[in-house]
Structure 1
Amino acid sequence: MSLEGKTKQTAVVCHGAVDLRQEQRDIPQPGSGEVQIQVAVTGLCGSDLHYYLHGANGAFKIREPLVLGHESCGLITALGPDVNPAFHLSVGDRVAMEVGVYCKACKYCRRGRYNLCKNMRFASSAKTFPHLDGTLREVMTWPAELVYKLPPGLDLALAALAEPLSVVLHAYRRAALQPGSRILVIGAGAVGLLTCALARASGCTSVVAIDIEQGKLDFASGQQWTTGTFCLPRGPRVSGLDALELAGGHWEALKSSEAVQSVEGLDDGFDAVFECTGVESCMQLAPMAAAIGTKVLYVGMGTKVLSLPTGPSILSEVDLIGVFRYCNTYPDALALLASGKLGDVSKMASHYYSLEDAEVAFEDLKRGKDKNGKTVIKPMVGNLELAKLHK
């Protein structure tokens, strides 16, 4: 596992739509205040898939070759000069990396809302240029202040889930829900599933999840993260009034479903709706499903321009709340993963792939199933031997 004598590494680089290449790149050495990390695994997410399929994620288009991936963990292999001793980092430590580098100087950073920093550079995002490479590589360097030691007992590979769980924690904090709340989660991908898990662990009495993949809903039910599920019919993506009509039909079907009818009062709407897809019709469904005086959390990204049914929302005082990444969450996310309070989250890491098989992982994620028909929840890509040895 030693990097001694190695000067080159493999990196998975996106050059454009369905143009993923494996390239040999120099192994970086840590600069001042940085650590060098041997990457164990990276969890693939929806934004990675958008870049792979389209060379863009919403309005963010790739302008130069970009190493994908940002849900990651690994081992510290070297410390650069001037690493603050207060971080208590050492060679050999198992760590997770928070991959948004913020400026610390703007008003948002000073207020503690650094996820809104206009100068932030986020690994594997094409929002800023020059782009900042992601984690689908063997070795990286990173600012020590954004590197977190894992709690005892947390498997190295599962630490990669701290990134999507951070998104969920940030959304949940903005929702400010009380125990006993009843929520709807639209989309049962990794973020949606973790939203269900956190809601149940936080005392929500009804957690209904909807998706177009029955396998993901069955997984959520099997983990006891939901009290009810509803599978939406598949159909073409539409926009504008067509999407609004589709959303209305989805809400009428959901209201009459057993998942809603089995709980008194839910046909009037939920205490909070977490929209985790970024699909226009689903984003329109969200405020329809919110009860008077409640909240919608827009967690998913993907639709550039959309029409929302804001008229009824305004009259009902439904708060439409945007959620962009996260801030001040990583230590809590890692502690939650280690605590066991969320249940057996290890089952979310449904598939593991080597760096050399990264394109297979992306194709499986696109289909939602592997070649054997098994539902893909969260593909993990990287150094499988390293992840296994350092559980």
Structure 2
Amino acid sequence: MSPVALPSHSVAVLYGPKDLRVEQRSVWPPSQNQAQVAVVSTGLCGSDLHYYMHGRNGDFAVRAPLVLGHEAAGIVTAVGPGVKHLVPGQRVAIEAGIYCRTCDFCTKGRYNLCKSMRFCSSAAVFPHADGTLQGRMNHPSFVLHPLPDNCSFEQAALAEPLSVLIHASRRANLSSGQSVLVYGVGAIGLLACAVANSLGASRVVAIDINQTRLDFARVNGFASQTFCLPPADRAKTTDEQLRRAKENSQAALAEFGSSAGFDVVFECTGAEPVIQMSVHTAIAGGKVMLIGMGTRNVVLPLSTAALREVDIQGSFRYANTYPAALALLASGKLKNIEKLITHRFPLQETKRGFDLLSRGQDEDGNMVLKVMIESS
């Protein structure tokens, strides 16, 4: 089919640091086992912001124009040959990771570790796989998930970050009656609080360096109690940093009235001093879940973890979580979850959305948590 005969759609394309352009591209029909989705809502993520600001996310540099966005939902507009479970007009959430389904990790249900994973909006592989900041998107049908009737497109876009916390909670075996401490109350940390509450945690508390975010978490029922870490100069030595981490941990536990620590600690910042604190604030026999990514190599108080049998576990993306995430979003159990979405922009103003997210505060002084881009 000649591109001349094809309709066009708008696409937000990243060419380099802060060089994001909205272009017109042809809309091709879906291929075998693909469905075409009219993207309605896309949430901007911290990894998207790293690409926008720096042209890279950690080791992964943008090597060709890339469409960002991977927290999304939309409407099926066409299906390719072989697609049986979806029909045009159906509302779906878009799971961005395309895995091989044949390797050992995939067949064992741990497809988030698939070595052949192509994650939309990531520069980890080349050629890059474009993300969801576009009007139409052809995507494998096996990673498109029908929405419950009472789940909105914006809620469904939150299924992606929510899946991160569902996966982490499963790895931690988080269960009713356990106490939970969350470090960092950005969107991911607030979702960690929400998931813990939905699972019946006996107590959910939070620590951050931003009092405004902590107030938001407490007022809206995400955390019952909060602690704001005091500002401090950067430690000059590793020993000093480890000492401070222990002292700050003791101060936080005293504030919470829980000297023994917490059953499960979700570390959502990726900051080395906070990762160190997480070991000290877990109860003996407890678990630390490392969710935030930001420090490549971390010095840890491993002897403290070993002697107190504190398990330190990593958690990377998610696997087999979307149905549970969508059901939870539709259930009404995630109190005030819609308040995470603080700002909205049309696709044509995606650059404004990223600039606002980078500042963390709008022109009126309001906090920025989750920015949503509306494509349709």
TM-score by length of 2: 0.94
In terms of mean alpha carbon deviation, does 243-252 or 284-293 score higher? 243-252
| 1:26 aligned residue | 26
Q: CA deviation at 1:236?
A: 6.9
Question: Pick from 291, 295, 299: which aligns with 1:303?
Answer: 295
C-alpha RMSD over aligned residues: 1.8
Is the Cα–Cα contact under 8 Å of residues 74 and 156 in structure 1 kept in the other structure? yes
Q: CA deviation at 1:96?
A: 0.4
Is the Cα–Cα contact under 8 Å of residues 186 and 210 in structure 1 kept in the other structure? yes
| 2:273 aligned residue | 281
| 1:268 partner SS | coil
Q: What percent of counterpart residues are identical?
A: 48
Q: Distance in 1 between matches of 2:89 and 2:154?
A: 15
Moved over 4 A (4+): 234-240
Is the Cα–Cα contact under 8 Å of residues 174 and 196 in structure 2 kept in the other structure? no
Structure 1 residues 141-165: Cα deviation after superposition (integer angstroms, max 9, x where no partner): 1011111111011112211000011
| 2:250 aligned residue | 252
Structure 1 residues 316-374: Cα deviation after superposition (integer angstroms, max 9, x where no partner): 11111000000000011000000001113111111111112212211221222111111
Is the Cα–Cα contact under 8 Å of residues 159 and 322 in structure 2 kept in the other structure? yes
- Structure 2 unaligned regions, length at least 5: none
| 2:167 aligned residue | 170
| 2:158 partner SS | helix
Q: CA deviation at 1:121?
A: 0.5
Is the Cα–Cα contact under 8 Å of residues 250 and 259 in structure 2 kept in the other structure? no
Is the Cα–Cα contact under 8 Å of residues 6 and 28 in structure 2 kept in the other structure? no
- Structure 1 unaligned regions, length at least 5: 387-391
1:201 aligns with 2:198: yes
1:333 aligns with 2:325: yes
In terms of mean alpha carbon deviation, does 117-126 or 240-249 score higher? 240-249
Q: CA deviation at 1:237?
A: 7.0
Q: CA deviation at 1:45?
A: 1.3
In terms of mean alpha carbon deviation, does 247-256 or 295-304 score higher? 247-256
1:100 aligns with 2:107: no
Structure 1 residues 240-276: Cα deviation after superposition (integer angstroms, max 9, x where no partner): 726545533432331232xx12xxxx22211111011
Is the Cα–Cα contact under 8 Å of residues 74 and 94 in structure 1 kept in the other structure? yes
| 1:43 aligned residue | 43
Structure 1 residues 33-92: Cα deviation after superposition (integer angstroms, max 9, x where no partner): 111111111101111111112222222222222111100001111111111x2x2x1111
1:347 aligns with 2:339: yes
Counterpart code for 2:253: K
Q: CA deviation at 1:25?
A: 2.1
Shift in CA distance, 253/56, structure 1 to aligned 2, threshold 3 Å: farther
